[in-house]
Amino acid sequence: MTATAQKKLCKPSLFQVLLLDNSPSQDVEVQEAEQVDFGVVKEHLRNGGSVFITSKDSQKIQHSKAEAQTNYSRSRRTLGSLFHRNLRS
């Protein structure tokens, strides 16, 4: 296992919890923590708000250039196929 992989295993995940008030002001509260406080989440939902939870680590996903090109080509083929199918109908 590489040193980078070991650091990632030892490093605790950091979560972002966004609490959106469904009021005219639409206030947003952002909390960052290693653990999500679901008591706060439940209370916010009971009060009619919205909650979004994300991992800060998930925002750093990088794909290699070759993988990105493959995904791009695959999506173009799929879209082209759907486009031609709609033209026929």
For residue 50, give the nearest of 16, 22, 29, 30 by alpha carbon.
22
Q: What is the mean pLDDT of residues 14-39?
A: 89
Q: What pLDDT digit, counting tens, does each position of 54-77 carry?
A: 887 655 556 567 777 777 777 777
Which pLDDT value is given to residue 56?
A: 73
Q: What is the mean pLDDT of residues 15-29?
A: 87
Q: pTM for this structure? A: 0.50
Which pLDDT value is given to residue 69?
A: 73
Which pLDDT value is given to residue 11?
A: 62
The residue extents of the domains of the chain are: 13-59
The span from the CA of 9 to the CA of 46, in Å, is 35
